Amino acid sequence: MKILIVDGHAEADYLIGSLIEKRHKVVVINADRSYCKYLASAHDMAVINGDASKQYILDEAKIRGFDLVVALSEDDATNLVICQTTKRLYGIKKAVSVVKNPHSVEIFKELGVNTAISSAHLVATSIEQATNLETLSSSLSLANGSVTVSEVSVERSFPVCGKVIMDIGFADYFNISCIVRKSETLIPRGSTEILAGDVLIIVTKTERTEHVLAALTGAAKE
pLDDT single digits (tens) 69-93: 999 998 999 999 999 999 999 999 9
Phi, psi of 121 (to 5 degrees): -160, 100
Task: Residue 144: name the closest of 197, 214, 75, 68 by CA.
Answer: 68
Query: Taking Cα atoms as reference points, which of 46, 11, 54 lies closest to residue 28?
Result: 46
Contact status, residue 191 vs residue 164, Cβ threshold 8 Å: yes
d(CA 167, CA 147): 24
Task: For 12-65, write each residue's pLDDT tens digit.
Answer: 898 898 889 888 999 999 999 999 999 999 999 999 999 999 999 999 999 999
The reply to whether 167 and 102 lie within a common domain is: no
30 and 137 share a domain? no
pTM: 0.57
CA 127 from centre of chain: 15
Burial class (CB within 10 angstroms; exposed 0-12, middle 13-18, buried 19+) of 103 = exposed
Residue 48 belongs to what domain range?
A: 2-118
pLDDT band at 100 (very low <50, low <70, confident <90, very high): confident
Say if 222 falls within a structural domain: no
> In terms of domains, do 95 and 151 share one?
no
Identify whether residues 112 and 52 lie together within a single domain.
yes
Domain finish residue from 118, 135, 164: 118
Provide the number of structural domains found in the chain.
2
125 band by pLDDT with thresholds 50, 70 and 90: very low
